[in-house]
Amino acid sequence: MKIESMQVNHLSKPIGIGAEDLTFSFKISGYGSLESITAEFSADADFKTVFCRETENIEPFGFSPCCVFRGGKRYFWRISALGANGETATASSFFECGRENSVWDIPFITTRKENRVSAAFIRKFTIREIKNARLYITALGMYEAYLNGKKIGREYFTPFCDDYRYLLQYQTYDITGDLRVGENVIAVLLGNGWYGERHPAGKCGDGAFGNGFYLSAEVTVGGERLLISDESWTEVRSPVVFSEIYDGEIYDARKEFFLPDGRVKQDAFTGENAVFTENPAGKIIPRISPELCERESFLPSLIVTPSGAQVLDFGKEITGWVEFTAIIPPGGEVKLLYGEIMQNGELYRENLRTAKAEFIAVGDGTEKTYRSHFTFFGFRYVQAEGISLTEETAKNFVGKTVYSSLKITGKIDTANEKLNRLAENVFRSQKGNFLDIPLDCPQRDERFGWTGDAQVFSETALYNADCVAFYDKYLADMREEQLRYGGACPFIVPDAFYAREERNEGRKPVSDGEFMLKRVSPGWGDAAVIIPWNLYRFTGDRGMLKKNYANMKLWADFLIRTDKNRGGKHIRDYGFRFGDWLALDNPDKEEKHGKTDEGFIATAYYYNAVRLTARAAGEIGENDDRVGYEKVAEEILAALKAEYISPDGTVKSDTQTAYALAIAFGLCDKKIAGKRLCEKLEENGGKLTTGFVGTSFLLGALAETGHGKEAYSLLLGEDLPGWLYAVNLGATTIWERWDSVLPDGTIRKGEMNSLNHYAYGSVLSWVYKSIIGIKQREDSAGFVRAVISPVIDERLGKVYGEYDSACGKYAVGYEIKGKKVVMKISVPCLGEADIIPPEGYRIEKTNGERIESGSVSLKSGEYEIVLSHMC
Ligand code: BGC
């Protein structure tokens, strides 16, 4: 038995979080049942003085002790568990709250002249004695802070990506170790990032949230304020002479102001003093984002193209930047052009659309290590210009991935190498798109938190990795927007589109929701219910559900209100809709909307939203809400059936997506729908036609209606369209379109063609649930009651998978041996699992003992189960 994954607000050892509403969670690994759990809290690492000890109601999924925490303080907490067999386990961790004063009483400073390119501020200070010191800091757009020449903290793209109209996070850094007795210099570089300039994909200076550079910071030493951002800070020229999220960066080493020993060049101080500016209108809050750091390193091989260009191939599509060390002559330039694919032997970049995606390093004649600061690139290939490379020196160029904290929790390993590779590609796309917000793609002129993509992928993402705090933060921005948008959840969160409209045209959303009908879409806005619900189902954290229930309710009420505004017929045949985006069944092959009736899709999602909100209300004891939403949900379902289901039980829209949706949401007789779905597949030569909406439900709908074989055939199909098609073409991530690259290796023409778009990777949740066979009972949360019931298919003779759930790790492995299947199952300490044999099989033995019943319930432990085929 071991205590693991101790987290506060689902963050590991966070520094600088808010002092209120803290939720503590942990996992217990090992087997057996528990006798007791104790939680202790102390202000010292040795727990000499414990100010709070709790033994009742310590819910590992999330508990809130009855004690008060204060800003500016570091706390230590310890969990001790006693097993029923006398075994004990104990572990401790710490967290630190943000500023003592929860009100951000620190001024903002800016540049004296209007400046949209980049900025840097610097401030000298002296200390006599080194004591515990902190930097509290935020800015608009992005900042990197340095103390005595060394970057502070290991994170990038701070203060992170929020809807800056409403929220701005500040970060807390422990700077004690980098202080010097005597003179110190703090410097802050600022770039546009997600805040200003061209984001979201506009013209120069079109910035969604604003333009210019704003900094607010405080340094405390020994708990006392030493300095704040004020007019004593000097503006200095920044070595980042250009930076823009899509276009890239120019870094001029000649403009660096730190000397190698951490002191500052004399002439750096000739700049003007900063000026005070108004604080931004939004709330300034302690950090809620998980850590966003450099993670992995990839070394390239060198390709010399037919035209003589030097292209570095990193072997995989990654997101981050290339870091390189070189001596570039003074004023000389090395240019890196980022791209995803080679065409005709040369780097191809047209699918980046207007994003220039380049990095230029200007040298100063000394050896330097270069990287970009305020943007990232989605790439596999990088063309290097201005430097002559050999296979050997190409290794000085290192591909670095940057993404939010994603502790891996899932594992898929089957006898089919291509399926394993698909799983790997999904993981890679998740890493490549989880940069503080769930991006649609990391390379072209978008990189937005598209809500539709985020919701279809969320279940897979939560199986793959711990991204609870990541989504929780996304929901915080969404909630702020919904509160102002009459409950509407926009296309993208943070809503840079509307922020820009509001800024440039002065429009304001109208609270009856009507105004936003053009800015939301079924399946996209539904992120407001689906993500909170998935988070709850995966974590079992009711406190989190209580908070995020607001998003669900706001969206459900928005849908109900706009329905009422149209007479309350419950049929959503109005408003903007993306439909079954990028589906293949539209006769017009260039059309991005699929063929499925968009009113049907919208009404189905409407029903689902209200139904899930009712369920969530029930979970958190909001019974009036539950009853109210249940009633509306029933009415919607009745209206939907009358409008969209034929008397023979088929769906009028009669597309694969329509049936997949109907089965997944329970909109009609499942047997009839399953049969018709199979017929639709057969009519199309066994090929899928589904787009963003239908794809995530397709295999589940087939398997649920007894068509597991067909589901396997789709998953393992190697032709277009299908998941393994891209694997065969050497994909290392998931593509935006089934045919993003054509069979002859040429890239599909057209403006929507990202090679790192995770939406279709949503299929992996089906692999976890139905191939590995780890899912949970409908009435369970946190995987307390798992259901282990794989769909067995001889095409995968051997399967192994894991899911390290909120209540510990479930593992399932099985091998088909003739008419028997031998399964090895582990059930974690806090879990329980119902083993339900797949169709056609019965359980023969459990741990060597013969079994008569159809299914078994297993407590924590390791088991061998033998299934035998019934015919
Ligand atoms: C994005 C998406 C998104 C879609 C909306 C695209 O440009 O990349 O993935 O969901 O627009 O239809």
CA of 129 to the centre of ligand 1 (A): 54
- 446 labelled catalytic: yes
> Which residue lies with its CA nearest to atom 1 of ligand 1?
440
Q: How far apart are CA 128 and CA 126, in angstroms?
A: 7
CB of residue 452 inside a 6 A radius of ligand 1: yes
In the prediction, which pLDDT does 588 show?
87
CB of residue 440 inside a 6 A radius of ligand 1: yes
Tell me if residue 798 falls in helix, strand or coil.
strand
Nearest alpha-carbon partner for 148 in 113, 190, 183:
183
In the prediction, which pLDDT does 43 show?
97
Instruction: Spell 538-568 as b/e; 16+ CB within 10 A means b.
Output: bbbbbbbbbbbbbbbbbbbbbbbbbbeeeee
Whether 858 and 835 have beta carbons less than 8 Å apart is answered as: yes
pLDDT in tens, 733-761: 999 999 999 999 999 987 889 999 999 99
CA of 440 to the centre of ligand 1 (A): 7
CB of residue 441 inside a 6 A radius of ligand 1: yes
**pLDDT less than 70: residues of the chain:** none
> Which residue lies with its CA nearest to atom 11 of ligand 1?
450
Nearest alpha-carbon partner for 611 in 634, 638, 644, 641:
634
Nearest 10 degrees: Cα torsion 264, 170, 157, 368: 20
Out of 752, 760, 762, give the residue to mutate to test ligand 1, the one with the largest number of ligand atoms within 8 Å of its CB: 752
Q: How far apart are CA 364 and CA 333, in angstroms?
A: 10
CA of 205 to the centre of ligand 1 (A): 24
Q: Which pair of structure tokens corresponds to residue 528?
A: 């407001």
Out of 456, 581, 601, 751, give the residue to mutate to test ligand 1, the one with the largest number of ligand atoms within 8 Å of its CB: 581
- Which is catalytic among the residues 291, 446, 598, 622? 446
Q: How far apart are CA 23 and CA 774, in angstroms?
A: 27
Q: What angle do CA 704, 707, 713 make, to 5 degrees?
A: 120
Q: How far apart are CA 350 and CA 442, in angstroms?
A: 15
Out of 441, 453, 489, give the residue to mutate to test ligand 1, the one with the largest number of ligand atoms within 8 Å of its CB: 453
Q: Is the pTM of this model over 0.85?
A: yes
- If you compute the radius of gyration of the chain from its CA atoms, what whole number of angstroms results? 28
CA distances in angstroms from 366 to 321, 328, 330, 362, 370, listed in the order given: 22, 7, 8, 11, 12
Q: Which residues contact 786 (CB under 8 A, 6 or more apart)?
A: 774, 775, 776, 777, 780, 805, 810, 827, 831, 832, 833, 834
> Which residue lies with its CA nearest to atom 3 of ligand 1?
450
In the prediction, which pLDDT does 202 show?
85
Q: Which pair of structure tokens corresponds to residue 360?
A: 């230029």
- Which is catalytic among the residues 40, 622, 736, 802? 736
In the prediction, which pLDDT does 410 show?
98
Q: How far apart are CA 660 and CA 699, in angstroms?
A: 8
In the prediction, which pLDDT does 530 show?
98
In the prediction, which pLDDT does 271 show?
82
- 778 labelled catalytic: no
Q: DSSP secondary-structure letter at 741?
A: B
- Of ligand 1's listed atoms, the one at least distance from the Cα of 581 is 12
In the prediction, which pLDDT does 851 show?
83
CA of 147 to the centre of ligand 1 (A): 41
Helices (H), 245-319: none
200: preceding bond cis by omega (within 30 degrees): yes
Neighbours of 135 (CB within 10 A): 23
Q: What angle do CA 17, 18, 20 make, to 5 degrees?
A: 140
> Which residue lies with its CA nearest to atom 5 of ligand 1?
578
For β-strands 133-140 and 214-221, DSSP reports them as antiparallel
Tell me if residue 836 falls in helix, strand or coil.
coil
